[in-house]
Amino acid sequence: MPTAAPRLCSANGCPDVAVRHGRCAAHTTQEYARIERYRGTATSRGYDHAWTTLRNRYIKAHPFCVACDRNGVLTLAAEVDHVTPLSRGGERLNPANLQALCKTCHRRKTGRENQRQDMQTATVTLVIGPPCGGKTTYVEQHRQPGDLVIDLDAILVAISGESSHTNRDALKPFAFEARDAMLAKLWAGGHDVRAAWVVLSAPRAVDREPFRRRGCRVVCCTAPQSALFVRARAAPPAAWVDHVHEWLEAYEPSDIDSVIDT
């Protein structure tokens, strides 16, 4: 039976044969060292006595691997994992950000996260909230020169040449396509963007989950209902009031999100 030709190391310009994860022995060692420098010590990463106490209590209450369970397999959990990693803004001691995993599933998830770290260097913040909730203002106050801002309203202004929210329906398919192309480029990596802000309404948890899986921080900009309605009535079109109602009815809060009162 013929054997497959050996593959070369994936590191740029390396002529040696790959032995593990697409890299030669020397580059594999370098990669592990880089990851350990990035991770730091256990204590510096937040795994102290408070974590150990919470971890032991959590795994006692959740003894089976949730990833295996989704595939119909019952496996004892051995690790308590942060759904959103601490390095990407996940809350260290929030049970809502924890899940029980077996060693195999935990190792796979960590590998995927390390791979995303290599591919995606930008820190991405998803800014959500109702109409008139202050999303654009929040981004304007926090972005830095050179940051990427992906905002459907801003795209519509750019392609219509008008700041008004009226008569835009025909242009929305173009705006959606432009936004999705920018997101695809952001996720693909290979760029020099270090920080990006994505503005969406995203009232439902399922709308935010794809961003959370990529390690994005989620910020919800909102205000008391009375203030939202005052703003909506003062800003054309009049349909903003209905849009605020719709968002408030659909909103599914999350303990992981940072809520900003505007």
pLDDT category at 262 given cuts 50, 70, 90 is confident
**pLDDT recorded at residue 88:** 64
Half-sphere exposure of 138 (CA within 13 A, CB side): 25
pLDDT reading at 179 higher than 70: yes
Residues 251 and 203 in one domain: yes
Is residue 257 within 8 A of residue 219, CB to CB? The reply is: yes
Using alpha carbons only, give the angle 237, 238, 240 rounded to the nearest 5 degrees: 80
Residue 29 forms part of a structural domain: no
Other Cβ atoms less than 10 A from the Cβ of 105: the count is 23
Structure tokens at 259: 């809520």
Residues 197 and 254 in one domain: yes
pLDDT category at 139 given cuts 50, 70, 90 is very high
Least reliable range by pLDDT among 14-23, 98-107, 136-145: 14-23
Residue 17 forms part of a structural domain: no
Residues 252 and 127 in one domain: yes
Residue 249 forms part of a structural domain: yes
Residues 189 and 133 in one domain: yes
As a whole number of angstroms, the distance between CA 223 and CA 62 comes to 36
Residues 64 and 168 in one domain: no
Secondary structure E strands in the chain: 79-82, 98-101, 123-128, 148-151, 195-199, 217-222, 258-261
Residue 154 forms part of a structural domain: yes
Is residue 252 within 8 A of residue 205, CB to CB? The reply is: yes
Residues 141 and 255 in one domain: yes
Structure tokens at 89: 């803004």
pLDDT reading at 63 higher than 90: yes
Residues 130 and 105 in one domain: no
Least reliable range by pLDDT among 35-39, 97-101, 123-127, 138-142: 35-39
Residues 100 and 155 in one domain: no
**pLDDT recorded at residue 12:** 58
**pLDDT recorded at residue 40:** 53
Residue 217 forms part of a structural domain: yes
Of the three residues 79, 96, 117, the one that is the final residue of a domain is 117
Full domain range(s) for residue 67: 44-117
Other Cβ atoms less than 10 A from the Cβ of 231: the count is 19
Residues 128 and 250 in one domain: yes
Residue 39 forms part of a structural domain: no
> What's 25's DSSP letter?
H
**pLDDT recorded at residue 233:** 85
pTM of the model: 0.55
Number of domains observed in the structure of the chain: 2
Average pLDDT over residues 153-170: 80
Alpha helices in 128-171 (DSSP H): 135-142, 152-160
pLDDT reading at 126 higher than 90: yes
Other Cβ atoms less than 10 A from the Cβ of 122: the count is 17
Is residue 135 within 8 A of residue 128, CB to CB? The reply is: yes
Of the three residues 117, 142, 167, the one that is the final residue of a domain is 117
CATH number where 232 lies: 3.40.50.300
Residues 256 and 145 in one domain: yes
Residues 84 and 181 in one domain: no
Whether the upstream peptide bond of residue 2 has omega within 30° of 0, thus cis, is: no
Residues 222 and 140 in one domain: yes
**pLDDT recorded at residue 10:** 66
Other Cβ atoms less than 10 A from the Cβ of 138: the count is 20
